[in-house]
Amino acid sequence: MKPHAISRRHFIRISTTAAGAALLQPLARAAAPKRTATDIVALGKTGLKISRLGFGAGSNSGKVQRDLGQEAFNKLIRYAYDRGITYIDCAKSYKTFDWIADAIKGLPREKLFLQSKIGGKPEDVLAEIDRHRKVFNTDYIDSMLIHCMIKTGWTDDWKRSMDAYDEAKSRKWIRSKGVSCHSLHALQAGAASDWTEVHLVRINPQGHVMDTPEEKWNATSDASRVGPVMAEIKKMHAKGHGVIGMKLVGNGDFTTAEDREKSIRFAMAQPEIHAVVIGFKNTAEVDEAIERMNRALAAA
């Protein structure tokens, strides 16, 4: 009888443990990791990682940051980095372009994600890309975009530039390529193209300064533009493209906390948007953006 009793107790213990584990499994699956503004996330299927929140160095074409002065700009970049923002958004046309190298000096390059942009149709696109490397004092740019595209059918007209970007990528001067669009038809062409790897897209639920059918970067827009833009973002995401949202604070026009909260909550609720970039001019704005994003991510 004794061996049988021991066996029975053993059976009950095993059964109880298994039943408890089975009950805990759904709870374990439900406990998703906490998401934050400064998470390092995958940028679509590019194979690259980026901080969910980026530092925009081009508010009003960079005048806002330039007016801070180089020393204050450097300190602001370092403050954002210390808080976990490792993605810095630049452009050749920004007034901060020649300040980036000094701003990131001493920071570990492998932890930074530098994105820049080239507008127009330069005579020698490769030379312009190489100039970025020299001005930023880096061997490579993580993401290089064709800047402020508004033209319908641009993927045909900008073929020479696109080929140069491909060559730069083969030389390891850039790690990814893409476009920032400022009209709906340009956005649609970018989403449809297999050449595009990264998109910088204007998005906010108010529809302010967003893409319209007009070939104008500053066309008047409203909330009716949100649906068409989101439809293209979903196409980009489905193709594995990296999607970064911009104009979350309406080009600086969202001066009320309610508008900023609404916009950030909207962006964080879209799984197709991998990261966002906001232009900052002081540490309080950095802190606010992180806090708002953290709350929005917790609620999403």
Contact 274/243 with Cβ under 8 angstroms?
yes
Cβ burial of 167 (10 Å; 0-12, 13-18, 19+) is middle
- Ordered by start, the domain boundaries in the chain are 1-31, 35-299
Distance separating alpha carbons of residues 5 and 54, to the nearest angstrom: 65
Structure tokens at 148: 């402020």
Q: What 3-state DSSP class applies to 24?
A: helix
* pLDDT tens digit sequence for 65-121: 999 999 999 999 999 999 999 999 999 999 999 999 999 999 999 999 999 999 999
- Taking 80 as the threshold, does the pLDDT of residue 15 lie above it? no
Compute the chain's Rg from CA coordinates. Answer: 23
The confidence score (pLDDT) of residue 253 equals: 95
Question: Tens digit of pLDDT for each residue in 187-246?
Answer: 999 999 999 999 999 999 999 999 999 999 899 999 999 999 999 999 999 999 999 999
SS3 of residue 124 by DSSP: coil
**The one-letter amino acid at 158:** W
CATH 3.40.50.150 for the 35-299 domain, yes or no: no
Cα–Cα distance between 158 and 121 in angstroms, integer?
A: 7
Does 61 have pLDDT greater than 50? yes
Residues present in the chain in total: 300
**Using an 8 Å Cβ cutoff, are 196 and 241 in contact?**
yes
| 11 pLDDT above the threshold of 80 | no
Half-sphere exposure in the Cβ direction for 152 (13 Å, CA): 6
Sign of CA dihedral 120, 124, 130, 135: negative
Q: How many angstroms separate the CA atoms of 36 and 155, rounded? A: 35
DSSP lists the bridge partners of residue 21 as none
Contact 182, 150 (CB under 8 A): yes
Higher pLDDT, 90 or 11: 90
Please say if the pLDDT value at position 12 is more than 90: no
The answer to whether 75 and 105 have CB atoms below 8 angstroms apart is no
pLDDT of 30-43, one tens digit each? 566 899 999 999 99
- For 146-186, the pLDDT digits (tens) are 999 999 999 999 999 999 999 999 999 999 999 999 999 99
Closest-CA residue to 119 (of 72, 81, 151, 141)? 151
Amino acid 4: pLDDT: 47
Confidence class of residue 25 from pLDDT cuts 50, 70 and 90?
A: low
Q: So what's the pLDDT on residue 196?
A: 98
Residue keyed to tokens 């602001």? 76
